């Protein structure tokens, strides 16, 4: 065997190993999706989506309260993080060299890296302890802390890409600065900003760790943000670790609902950002 064909064989072998590793990696992905779809599809029905959890053994258990709870938590997180995030993003893109902007950048880098369980501790100490109990509000605040860096980043990145001439044209026509920003620049960056918000939602919608000792969980349906609420991820956690097979069945169903929700979000984000 000549040395050239040996080298070519090594190259082919290497390429084969890389390809094999890539294919092997996707086996767990396919397995996870397969199990969720096969086990989850059997659990899902209209009654399952709308009714409340029942004790193990009783028929007709549902995840209605968890869906409502997740929606409440996501709403609270958005109400807090979207205005602040867009505001800070505008500030960062308008005054990139300001001292406060530099400090904000360092803080964002750290904030983004804080483990979700530590965020849960923080929200427990800041909200649960003073209020004297677990609540949807504390869970929403924990999620907003995780969402905030993403909203700020995407707003900043988007606004940086908007042509300077747009702003100059508006200012040149005598439009005050604040109106230029709120009526011209931010609307021009809306696709990018909303993509960031959707990505932020999809990051927090599946989070369980920050909710363990904030939103806590609740077997009943509640719309009161001062009361503990259930959420899809917490329900999956509680049911998956329970010994009852019908609860585990419900956890598969809830997993399918959660995955479908997350995939829909990323699909929406993709369509917005490619348009």
Partner 1 sequence: MRKTSQLSPEDRNIRIYETLFSWILKFFSVLVVATLVGILATILIQALPSFRDAGINFYTGKSWDPVFKHFSATPFVVGTLATTVLALLISIPFSLSIALFSGFYLHPGRITSTIRLLIDLLAGIPSVIYGFWGLSIVVPAVRQFELFSGRVPYGVGIFTAALILSIMIVPYAASIGRDVIALVPSDLKEAGLALGATPYEVVRWIVMPYSKAGLLSGILLSFGRAIGETMAVTMVIGNANKIPGSIFDPANTISSIIANEFAEATDPIYVSHLIHMGLILFISTTAIGLFGRRVIKKWSSH
By CB under 8 A, what part of segment 172-191 binds partner 1? 176-179, 181-182
Number of residues that bind partner 1 (CB under 8 A): 82
Dihedral of alpha carbons 33, 39, 44, 50, sign: negative
C-alpha–C-alpha distance, residues 235 and 67, integer Å: 10
Whichever of 170 and 248 has its CB closer to partner 1, that residue is 248
Least separation in angstroms between residue 240's CB and partner 1 is 4
Question: According to the binding rule CB under 8 A, does residue 248 interact with partner 1?
Answer: yes
Which letter does DSSP use for residue 53 in this model? P
Applying the rule CB under 8 A, the residues between 197 and 226 that interact with partner 1 are 202, 205-209, 212-213, 216
User: Segment contacting partner 1 (CB under 8 A): 52-60, 115-123, 160-168, 186-194?
Assistant: 115-123
- Among the listed residues 7, 190, 223, 226, the single contact to partner 1 using CB under 8 A: 7
Give, as ranges, the residues between 129 and 158 that touch partner 1 (CB under 8 A): 145, 148, 152
How far apart are alpha carbons 224 and 138 in whole angstroms? 12
266 touches partner 1 (CB under 8 A):
yes
Give the SS3 label for residue 116. Answer: helix
Report if residue 246 touches partner 1, rule: CB under 8 A. no
Backbone angles phi, psi at 168, to 5 degrees: -65, -40
Task: Output 177 or 223, the one with its CB closest to partner 1.
Answer: 177
Assign residue 142 a region (left: φ > 0; alpha: ψ between -120 and 50; beta: otherwise): alpha
How deeply is 111 buried, as exposed, middle or buried, from its count of CB atoms within 10 A (0-12, 13-18, 19+)? Answer: middle
Region 31-50 residues binding partner 1, contact defined as CB under 8 A: 31-33, 35-36
């Amino acid at each position: 065997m000549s040395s050239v064909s040996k080298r070519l064989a090594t190259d082919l072998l290497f390429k084969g190993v890389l390809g094999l590793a890539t294919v092997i990696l996707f086996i767990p992905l396919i397995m996870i999706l397969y199990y969720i779809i096969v086990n989850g599809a059997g659990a899902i029905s209209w009654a399952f989506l709308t009714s409340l959890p029942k004790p193990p053994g009783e028929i007709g258990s549902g995840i209605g309260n968890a869906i409502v709870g997740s929606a409440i938590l996501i709403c609270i997180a958005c109400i807090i993080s979207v205005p602040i995030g867009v505001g800070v993003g505008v500030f960062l893109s308008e005054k990139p060299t300001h001292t406060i902007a530099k400090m904000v950048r360092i803080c964002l880098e750290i904030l983004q890296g804080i483990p979700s369980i530590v965020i849960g501790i923080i929200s427990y100490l800041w909200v649960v302890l003073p209020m004297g109990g677990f609540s949807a509000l504390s869970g929403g605040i924990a999620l907003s802390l995780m969402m905030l860096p993403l909203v700020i980043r995407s707003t900043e990145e988007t606004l940086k890409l908007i042509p300077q001439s747009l702003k100059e044209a508006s200012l040149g026509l005598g439009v005050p600065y604040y109106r230029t920003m709120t009526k011209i620049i931010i609307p021009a960056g809306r696709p990018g900003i909303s993509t960031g918000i959707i990505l932020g939602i999809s990051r927090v919608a599946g989070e369980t760790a920050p909710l363990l000792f904030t939103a806590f969980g609740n077997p009943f349906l509640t719309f009161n943000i001062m009361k503990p609420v259930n959420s899809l991820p917490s329900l999956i956690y509680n049911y998956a670790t329970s010994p009852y097979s019908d609860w585990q069945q419900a956890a598969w169903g809830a997993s399918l609902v959660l995955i479908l929700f997350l995939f829909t979000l990323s699909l929406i984000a993709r369509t917005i950002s490619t348009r």
